[in-house]
Amino acid sequence: MMEEYAVVGKAFRSVGGSDKVTGRAQYLDDIELPGMLHAKILRSPHAHARILKIDTSKAAALPGVKAVLSAVDCPKLPFGLDVPDARIFAETKVRYAGDEVAAVAAETPKIAREALKLIDVRYELLPALFSPQEALQEGAPLVHEDKPGNLVKSYVIERGDVDADFAACDYVFEEEFASSRVTACYLEPFGAIARWEPDNRLTIWTGIQGAFQARSEIARALGMNPSQITVKVPAIGGAFGGKIWIRNFHPIVALLAKEARRPVKFVLTRPEEFAASRPRVPAKIKIKLGMLKDGTLVCKDTAIVADNGAYSWAAPKIVLNMSLRTDCLYRFKSVRTRSYLAYTNTTPTSGFRGYGNAQSHFAQESMIDVCARKAGLDPVEVRLKNAVRQGDLTLHGWKVRSCGLTECIEKARAAIARGRKPQADPNGTVKRGIGLACMNHVSGNRAGNNFDGSSSMVRFQEDGKLVLYHGESDMGQGARTVLAQIAAETLGIRPEDVLVMPIDTDVSPFCFGSYSSRVTTVAGKAAYLASLQVREQLLKLAATLLEAAPEDLDVREGRIFVRGGERKGISVADVCKSAIRTRATVGLTAYVAYDPPTEGANEDFYGDYSSAYTYAAQAVEVEVNTETGQIRVLRVAAAHDVGRAINPNGIRGQIYGGVAQGAGWALYENMVYEGGRLQNNSLRNYTMVTATDMPEVEPIIVETQDPVGPYGAKGIGEPALIPMPPAVANAVEDAVGVRIRDLPITAEKIYFSLNPECEGPAS
Amino acid sequence: MNIQDYLVPHHVDECLAMLNAWGGRGRLVAGGTDLVASLEYGKAQAEALIDISAMEDLMGFEIQDHELVVRAGSTHRQVSAAPRIRQLWPALSKACGSVGSPQIRNVATLAGNVVNAQPAADAAVALVALGARAEILSSGGRRLEAVENLYGGLGQSRIDSSREILVALRVPVPDAGEVNVYGRVSPRNSLCLPIVNAALSLKTAGGTVLSGRIAMGPVSDRPFRPERAEAALQGVALKDRAALSEVGRIAGEEANPRDSCLRGCSDYRRQLLTVLIRTLLEDAAAQTAEEA
Amino acid sequence: MMKALTFTLNGDQTRVEVDPGELLLDVLRRRLFLTGTKKGCGEGECGACTVLLDGQPVLACLLPAMKVQGRAVTTIEGLGHEQRLHPVQEAFLEKGAVQCGFCTPGMVLSSKSLLDGQPQPSEDEIKQALSGHLCRCTGYVQILEAVKDAAEKMTRAEGRKGHA
């Protein structure tokens, strides 16, 4: 039996929710500053071209224009992540259709837009590369002249003796899978406001996932010190990994504001969001898998070729995840992965819910079904037989401290089997099938020996209200709610009495930000530890007031009392008043910087890098029209090992939302390019699921009580998206016997697979 | 957009006078949903907007003698929600309910759907199949034209809404034995332009098709009528599934959908039309069976 | 030439000078500082800018402001405030239907409009009523639950009023 808590595991209204339902929540575009100008960015219409000339004089002369910038006006400091190759504006050439060429700040958005039309840019077109396969060919044109072979990064990771193990296998199968380019497509367009302060400091308002990372990157691009910059985070209208890192517009808006000596706002238009945001890294993944007759998975050899786009952001890290993580889902004896990440003349790719893990799961979890079917085995039984378990040390050195994978598989299988519809309709045109896919993920991810934790500061006010400072953005996933619940549980007060402060890098404790599904686990732990310290201070002072020993005291619902003598007590508010408004000089404040007990991976990528790994199995039922190939996802049973549910309503929300995004990707989300130009740059034709498309979803929460996470909790941000595409692919094969290996699984692809005599589209 | 004035006439004469006064630089706006986007992105030009939605004589719809008269101010929602229209013109009702979103259907008008001249326009496809005519008013007088003749190329209407007013759409009342149906295929269920759509209007007697009109989109620069498939409909027994399939096959063959990286390749879209037309014929058969 | 626009906004008679081609969304957000109406696309696709015009949901990003002359507009600011939330707002909080909140004002307004006309909608009617709103966070499930919950509570409250 798990311990019952007063606040943890109970449904609470989300922190900030009432501001959102009343329209008072302030998102970036809702902020108006006195004298604020509006910025627009001129982007390259070409995928690859030399810039012969940029003449901004006419734009600068337009009444109402207050600043015009292009590369000549800006610092030329490289910025970016592992491979810093970005500049504020394109300098000698443009590398994708959407590349920043110039920018304008004007009195109104309309004037700024007019001014863009007056900027004269001459280009000389260059041959462009649209796929990593082309880019890696000998003699291909170079995207960056100083990056030979267009190679951004490659990895070779090997554990055990793969070749010897293949030789000993009963079956060896090989297949290739491909994932498409999809975008986070949060509802609130990304943007920033910049204002220079009197002491030559810079304030940036931006709805970003990691405020401190943003601060250091903006500083790097501008050649400033991070402490000269303040990043403030307003309400964020969704992010899903698409707002982790800064964009070029962050330094651009700062420089425009400097030039104009006025605050400047920039918000992406929706077509710009599509053309110039950071889609998920598309990859071709070839898997060779060796197994025994009894279904034991023995070894795996994987080759990955991935598309970085024109500039490098998180793609190297994402390809690393893609190259490792699925190896730890089952008990493989040996694995080898060779991965190549190449520059192309397309929009730079980066993170979106799953951070590489979603792509490799599509490949591996499709592959398991293909292999099991070929071997005449039940794919679900194969998964159960090989599933990683609590206490395992995986072949990449992960320590599996808690693991509910087996339970997830069993529960998802049972749930989808209940209430199944007939496998075919009487007229024979509609067929139905079920499929299951698993996933593992992390709750935080340590890079090397660096800090992978979070910091928290909690402080009681004189009225007994608690103020909690942190630095992990709430993009809607409910970070603030979970932090408030953890603090309230630990301190014995009501969550409503916790004020979770907005993020301001001058005030907030140092944090990395909301990614890697890490906030509940690491920021929650920091809040827990800080709350414990304050609890100690609180009880110590209460003990003197109550004339009792601190260890005999307990606190519940805002009241401190002597255990066993419940009637003798004092309210938390009264103790706070005594601490602050008397000469007791008790701070009732704690600042904790927490770093999880993991060592991180070594240079060979071996090592335990997350304090809590998460597991899930999702089963789906689909319906396929054999005449048209049209497919509907009817039901989803989504079983997730969350360690311990802190906020069950929030977990359900993450599962439903992940299923929706995963179903959209599985069925139709796809950024389609012709000649390097995006053909669907609108919500009209980039199709994500609507209320009328959503399948019936049964969320199943599996609790394994993680030994490290706060109250046993693990992350749930990314997982629910990850198994959807392979589960749908597996269900389609179950229904109609065709295997779709490239996402999305469109009706058209199914139709042509069912009718191989018909000639499909030339692709 | 550089709009200098916004005018609200109260009757058609005043409206025509305003159009004349602006000499081709004024544009009629009904719901405005398509026009606003076009103006915003520079795809349309206008210096004055003349809003027809306050004109009493363009409001509502009614059944007169042998026609349904849908006046220019009628929205998709009004038409799709009207029980009488749902009963007699289910194709029109369903097509109007498929356009855009509820918010768009609350303001966008059928007349606008026709004037905007998009080949995928759901309501226009239904109107063509139903043999609807448009009543157009200009300073030169009043004229009636078949909706299918109003197209002058992709997205080009032969109605010049800087000089003319489409005052009403007139749809014949179905006779006994006449049925009409509409359907579409789209990747998702809402907020989606169709990959293909189609409407059929059939005259039947005793379970046999006497004649029929088929309109399909977006497979041409206008709602497309497959002549051979229409000819093949004559004399078909609605119970004869093979014959219905054959009509579908011919319609698919006659259509010439483009290869589209978003909507699918031509062969696939042809297959969808084949299945859609057959399915709609089956729906029509079910309807006549119900009525009989 | 600026035009004088007079309309009822959240129950109050409002007069504002606008450009003749100006969109309702810009008038609400930039001239009247009612920023609860969101701009998610500006192309009439996402539904975040939904407001009620004479009680019916419409898209403020596609509506010339002059179209509301003499008519009644309700924005999210007109629905309820923190101390006295509309039952739909209460239900959204109760069911966890709010994540990032960017689609929420529009969703709430379409839901209110639905329940005003159809106090006991079917699941399909709710889905249809919300089919013009994109939400990237929630997968819509808890939003549908919230609308059902609000419908039940409002019907029960009506019933009590009827008996009193």
Instruction: Check CB contact under 8 Å for B188 and A687.
Output: yes
Q: A166, A137, A161, A165: which is closest to A151 by C-alpha?
A: A137
A564-607 pLDDT per residue, tens: 887 789 999 999 999 998 888 899 999 999 999 999 999 999 99
- CB contacts of C26 in chain B (<8 Å) are none
User: Over 70: is that where the pLDDT of C91 sits?
Assistant: yes
Are the C-beta atoms of B60 and B46 separated by less than 8 Å?
Answer: no
User: Over 70: is that where the pLDDT of A761 sits?
Assistant: no
Lowest mean pLDDT, pick from A87-91, A648-652, A696-700, B62-66? B62-66
Q: Which has more pLDDT, C164 or C54?
A: C54
Instruction: Check CB contact under 8 Å for C142 and A656.
Output: yes
Two domains, one topology: A28-126+189-236+243-276 and A448-594: no
A248-273 pLDDT per residue, tens: 999 999 999 999 999 999 999 999 99
Are the C-beta atoms of A464 and A573 separated by less than 8 Å?
Answer: yes
Listed in sequence order, the residues at least 6 apart from A192 whose beta carbon sits closer than 8 Å to its beta carbon are A28, A204, A205, A206, A249, A250, A253, A265, A266
Instruction: Check CB contact under 8 Å for A628 and B191.
Output: no
Instruction: Check CB contact under 8 Å for A238 and C137.
Output: yes
Residue type for position A114? E
Lowest mean pLDDT, pick from A47-56, A75-84, C92-101? A75-84
DSSP-derived pairing of the beta strands A631-641 and A696-702: parallel
In this predicted structure, what is the pLDDT of residue A1? 62
* pLDDT, average across residues A210-229: 96
In this predicted structure, what is the pLDDT of residue A762? 52
A462-501 pLDDT per residue, tens: 999 999 999 999 999 999 999 999 999 999 999 999 999 9
- Which domains, ranges and CATH numbers included, belong to chain C? 3-78 (3.10.20.30), 87-163 (1.10.150.120)
With a pLDDT cut of 70, the percent of chain A lying above it is: 99
Among B188, B265, B271, beta carbon nearest to A761: B265
A96-127 pLDDT per residue, tens: 999 999 999 999 999 999 999 999 999 999 99
- CB contacts of B2 in chain C (<8 Å) are 21
CA-based nearest distance B178→chain A, Å: 27
Among C42, C53, C62, beta carbon nearest to B33: C62
B229-286 pLDDT per residue, tens: 999 999 999 999 999 999 999 999 999 898 998 889 999 999 999 999 999 999 999 9
Tell me the C-alpha distance between A78 and A452, whole Å. Answer: 25
> What CATH class is the domain A28-126+189-236+243-276?
alpha beta
Local confidence band at A735 (pLDDT 50, 70, 90 cut-offs): very high
In Å, how far are A646, B31, C28, C55, C80 from C74, measured between CA atoms?
A: 37, 19, 11, 7, 11
* pLDDT, average across residues C62-74: 97
User: Over 60: is that where the pLDDT of C164 sits?
Assistant: no
A525-556 pLDDT per residue, tens: 999 999 999 999 999 999 999 999 999 999 99
CA-based nearest distance A692→chain B, Å: 6
B5-51 — its CATH code?
A: 3.30.43
Q: Does B1 touch chain C (CB under 8 A)?
A: yes
A448-466 pLDDT per residue, tens: 678 999 999 999 999 999 9
Residue with the two structure tokens 């500006």: C42
Tell me the C-alpha distance between A455 and A471, whole Å. Answer: 7
Instruction: Check CB contact under 8 Å for A657 and C41.
Output: no
Instruction: Check CB contact under 8 Å for B262 and A685.
Output: yes
Which chain B residues in 150-189 lie under 8 Å from chain A, judged by CB atoms? 185, 187-189
Mutate: best of C50, C130, C137, partner A, most A CBs <10 A: C137
In this predicted structure, what is the pLDDT of residue A763? 46
CA A139 to chain centre: 36
Q: What is the dihedral of CA A268, A269, A270, A271, to 10 degrees?
A: -110
Q: A518, A512, A723, A529: which is closest to A637 by C-alpha?
A: A723
B76-128 pLDDT per residue, tens: 999 999 999 999 999 999 999 999 999 999 999 999 999 999 988 999 999 99
User: Over 90: is that where the pLDDT of A758 sits?
Assistant: no
Tell me the C-alpha distance between A490 and A468, whole Å. Answer: 13
- Which DSSP state fits C29? I
Local confidence band at C163 (pLDDT 50, 70, 90 cut-offs): low
Among A17, A649, A688, beta carbon nearest to C136: A688
Lowest mean pLDDT, pick from A82-86, B103-107, B229-233, C158-162? C158-162
- CB contacts of A747 in chain B (<8 Å) are 187, 264
In this predicted structure, what is the pLDDT of residue A405? 98
Q: Number of residue pairs across B and C with CB atoms under 8 Å? A: 89
Average pLDDT, chain A: 96
DSSP-derived pairing of the beta strands A229-233 and A202-205: parallel
In chain B, domain spans: 5-51, 59-172, 178-291
- CB contacts of A679 in chain B (<8 Å) are 261-262
Q: Strand, helix or coil at A163? A: helix
Listed in sequence order, the residues at least 6 apart from A38 whose beta carbon sits closer than 8 Å to its beta carbon are A105, A106, A107, A108, A109, A111, A112, A264, A265, A266
Nearest chain C alpha carbon to B35? C62
Instruction: Check CB contact under 8 Å for C96 and A650.
Output: yes
Are the C-beta atoms of A135 and A715 separated by less than 8 Å?
Answer: no
With a pLDDT cut of 90, the percent of chain A lying above it is: 95
Order of strands across the sheet that contains A120-125: A93-94, A49-55, A120-125
A506-529 pLDDT per residue, tens: 999 999 999 999 999 999 999 999
**A84 preceded by cis ω (within 30°)?**
no
Which parts of A325-472 fold into alpha helices (H)?
357-374, 379-386, 405-417
Residue type for position A682? S
Q: Which residues pair with A468 in a beta bridge?
A: A458, A500
Q: What is the ipTM of this complex?
A: 0.97
Among B185, B261, B267, beta carbon nearest to A674: B261
Average pLDDT, chain B: 93
CATH architecture of A448-594: 2-Layer Sandwich (3.30)
Task: For chain B, report the end-to-end CA distance as a whole number of angstroms.
Answer: 55
Give me the phi and psi of A681, to 5 degrees please.
Answer: -105, 35
Token pair recorded at residue C153? 């509570």
- CB contacts of C21 in chain B (<8 Å) are 1-3, 6, 39, 49
Q: Count the neighbouring beta carbons within 10 Å of the beta carbon of residue A180.
A: 21
- Which DSSP state fits A235? B
CA-based nearest distance B49→chain C, Å: 8
Token pair recorded at residue B73? 């101010």
Pick the CATH number of B178-291 from 3.40.50.460, 3.30.390.50, 3.90.550.10, 1.10.1050.10: 3.30.390.50
In chain A, domain spans: 28-126+189-236+243-276, 131-182+278-386, 402-441+614-763, 448-594
Pick the CATH number of A131-182+278-386 from 3.30.365.10, 3.40.250.10, 1.10.357.140, 3.40.50.720: 3.30.365.10
Instruction: Check CB contact under 8 Å for B265 and A685.
Output: no
DSSP assignment string, chain B: ----EEE--SSHHHHHHHHHHTTTSEEEESS-HHHHHHHHTTSS--SEEEE-TT-GGG--EEEETTEEEEETT-BHHHHHH-HHHHHH-HHHHHHHHHSS-HHHHTT-BHHHHHHTT-TT-HHHHHHHHTT-EEEEEETTEEEEEEGGGGB-STT-BSS-TTT-EEEEEEEEPPPTTEEEEEEEE-SSSSS---SEEEEEEEEEETTEEEEEEEEEESSSSS-B--HHHHHHHTT-BTT-HHHHHHHHHHHHHH--PPPBTTTB-HHHHHHHHHHHHHHHHHHHHHHHHHH-
> What CATH class is the domain B59-172?
alpha beta
- CB contacts of A630 in chain B (<8 Å) are 185
On the 0-12 / 13-18 / 19+ scale of CB atoms within 10 A, A677 is middle
Q: Strand, helix or coil at A528? A: helix
In this predicted structure, what is the pLDDT of residue B292? 66
Give the Cα-Cα-Cα angle A107, A111, A113 (nearest 5 degrees): 125
Tell me the C-alpha distance between C21 and C25, whole Å. Answer: 12
Q: Which residues pair with A229 in a beta bridge?
A: A202
Token pair recorded at residue A647? 């906020």
In Å, how far are C115, C117, C126, C164 from C159, measured between CA atoms?
A: 15, 17, 22, 9
Q: What is the dihedral of CA A471, A491, A644, C91, to 10 degrees?
A: -80
- Which DSSP state fits A147? S
Tally DSSP H helices, then E strands, for chain A: 18, 29
CATH architecture of A402-441+614-763: 2-Layer Sandwich (3.30)
Give me the phi and psi of C25, to 5 degrees please.
Answer: -60, -45
User: Over 70: is that where the pLDDT of A728 sits?
Assistant: yes
In Å, how far are A171, A203, A250, A255 from A66, measured between CA atoms?
A: 69, 19, 18, 12
Tell me the C-alpha distance between B91 and B130, whole Å. Answer: 8
Host H or E run for residue A282: none
Mutate: best of B104, B184, B271, partner A, most A CBs <10 A: B271
Host H or E run for residue A666: helix A648-667
Listed in sequence order, the residues at least 6 apart from A541 whose beta carbon sits closer than 8 Å to its beta carbon are A575, A578, A579, A584, A586, A588
Local confidence band at B1 (pLDDT 50, 70, 90 cut-offs): low
* pLDDT, average across residues A699-709: 97
Tell me the C-alpha distance between C35 and C27, whole Å. Answer: 10
Nearest chain C alpha carbon to B97? C128
With a pLDDT cut of 90, the percent of chain B lying above it is: 83
Host H or E run for residue C143: helix C141-163
Radius of gyration of chain C (CA): 16
With a pLDDT cut of 70, the percent of chain C lying above it is: 98
DSSP assignment string, A320-351: HHHHHGGGGTBT-SEEEEEEEEEE-SSPPPB-
In this predicted structure, what is the pLDDT of residue A626? 97
CA-based nearest distance A324→chain C, Å: 28
Q: Helices A747-754 and A724-736: crossing angle, nearest 10°?
A: 30
- CB contacts of C101 in chain A (<8 Å) are 16-17, 19-21, 25, 235, 237, 476
Q: Count the neighbouring beta carbons within 10 Å of the beta carbon of residue B28.
A: 27
User: Over 50: is that where the pLDDT of C52 sits?
Assistant: yes
